Amino acid sequence: MAQPFPVQRTCPFAPPPEYERMREQAPLVKGTLSGKDVWLVTRHAEAKQVLAGSGISTNPATPGHPSAPPDDEQVTPEERAAREKFTAGHFIDLDPPEHGRFRRLLIPEFTVRRMKELRPGIQRLADELLDDMLAKGPDADLVEAYGLALPSLVICQLLGVPYADHELFQSRTRTMISSMDDPQVRMAAAMEIHDYLDALITSMAERPGDDLFGRLITGGALSHDELVGVAFLLLVAGHETTANMIPLSALTLLRHPEQLAALRADPSGWPAAVDELLRYLSIVDWVAFDRVSTEDQEIGGQQVRKGDGIYVLGASANHDERAFERPDAFDPGRGANHHVAFGYGVHQCLGQNLARAELEIALRTLFERVPGLRVTMSDEELPAKYDGAIFGLTAMPVTW
């Protein structure tokens, strides 16, 4: 029997319990999404095989893609033009070689060297936020005061987006990725962000600044619509995932006091701890891991036909016993940098170096400066995004 998909989590620290049964069943199992059959990739090796892209397309326009837009005969010319305008620059949905044109332009902005240059600024922002939180204390909502604020400040500075507008893109992004909202409501929220960025890029073009979009505008390699699309992807991805990871990671560490004490005693362990948190929590499970086979092929012993839709279950792959010893245990010393939390292959997350830097600085600074931090709710009481496409907490009341 096909597995209904997506499957909701029931615990803040674990993938859906169904994933373990599915992994034992097969590397690929049949699932159903909105009445359509899809393959669900459950194991680590096959996840990397699919994400590497041989005989696989990420483009929703490819026949059979699970995120394919409506059939063209059902779409008016005006709707088609609006869709093309909206998706211009969405390079994560493009296959090589088109995907490479965008990636080559953006890679210099996200290198390890560039992130090293940004670290002092991220550190300053983290300290300023904690100064404010501590001054207002001894109680706070860690999601609002720190988790949301820090990534928003960082991505706004990086892109040249006014931080005064952060509430607009934060609230619209939450609506856009909520599986509970009507598709038209989600699309309306996405269009609000798109229209905001359209106007912002137009304004930036008159006087480009010394920021990522100023440099892209000056370079002239992208059209206006492509610039807006790239801005949309980077703004949404650049704050939402890290904003969810910071509080949930803090909660995980508080629930593992021995590991936290070891990190406090030896801060050199933070980079490895961040990678283990990314693997262990896997908050981006299947989002952006939708694919379609472009040829008949065998994957994990299953015959996958041309036009078959595929979803890689990142949270399942990251808890695969074949790739990680005791995968359900949180072990910051395991060296889990072969996880697929950032994807794999040509579509591997462009901003992973930034995400790692933000998480390391945010968590280390939090626990250095607020040593008595504790959560004032039980894990069961904490409001979590069990219905969200990206997992996280909506609030985390703390005291110190």
Q: Where along the chain do its domains lie?
A: 3-399
pLDDT at 16 over 80: yes
Residue 180 confidence class, pLDDT cut points 50, 70, 90: low
Phi and psi, residue 167, nearest 5°: -65, -35
Identify the CA nearest to 178 among candidates 387, 394, 392.
Answer: 387
pLDDT at 230: 95
Tokens of 28: 């690929």
CB contact at 8 A, 30 and 37: yes
Bigger pLDDT: 306 or 237?
306
State the Cα–Cα distance between residues 150 and 341, nearest whole angstrom: 21
Please, which residues have CB within 8 angstroms of residue 107's CB and are 6 or more apart in sequence? 350
pLDDT at 77: 82
- CATH number corresponding to 3-399: 1.10.630.10
Identify the CA nearest to 2 among candidates 182, 28, 86.
Answer: 28
Residue 72 confidence class, pLDDT cut points 50, 70, 90: low
Tell me which amino acid residue 4 is: P
pLDDT at 179: 56
pLDDT at 350 over 70: yes
Phi and psi, residue 375, nearest 5°: -90, 140
Q: Taking the CA atoms of 12, 18, 20 and 22 in sequence, report the sign of the dihedral they define.
A: negative
Bigger pLDDT: 266 or 187?
266
Percent of the chain with pLDDT over 70: 98
